[in-house]
Amino acid sequence: MFSVLRSERGFSLAEIMLTVAVAGTLMAVAVPIMQDVSASAKLGEAARLVERELQDARLRAVSSNRTLRVRANCPGTGFIRTVEVLGTAADSPTGRCSSSAYPYPPDLDLITLPNYDGPVRVIPNSATVTAPDIQFLPDGTAQVVAAGVATTISGERTLTITRRSVSRTVTVNAAGKIRLVIQ
């Protein structure tokens, strides 16, 4: 009589254990790499925000024929704000960083100043910026501001954006060229 051949289906215990071991090894390698990629992306997002704020301030200074200043850590660590330079005692960091005294959007009356202050922006992902204030003149050139005194930039000024002890830099030269340095 005929005997029916039965095929064996399924996986042996050894095959399953080998598959689990390979998958576990791949996961052990992939998780730290993904964490590094995520941290780098978050730092990059913060650096791009700072670079865009500088680019926007330069563009608005030229188009409005006004001097605009980008202030890091305004009103506190982890914030950035662009303010119009008034040439008065109100230009102090504490005075101009107050969003209650100088709200955004400013009033629409062109006679009263300031008219070109920007919003207080949060630098994302708990990143911080160590930098001097940079101001842009109506011709697009840049100056560095220290202790309320604006001076021409010699070479390049570096703004350092740091998150969890990893940094990226944005540079500004006297001609107003802004560059995000990718490392």
pLDDT at 36 over 60: yes
Please state which of the ranges 68-77, 106-115, 133-142 shows the lowest mean pLDDT: 106-115
pLDDT at 86 over 60: yes
* Model pTM score: 0.76
pLDDT at 1 over 60: no
Query: CA angle at residue 179 from 138 to 105, to 5 degrees?
Result: 50
Query: What is the biggest distance separating any 2 CA atoms in the chain, rounded to whole angstroms?
Result: 109
| Structural domains of the chain ordered from first start | 13-181 (3.55.40.10)
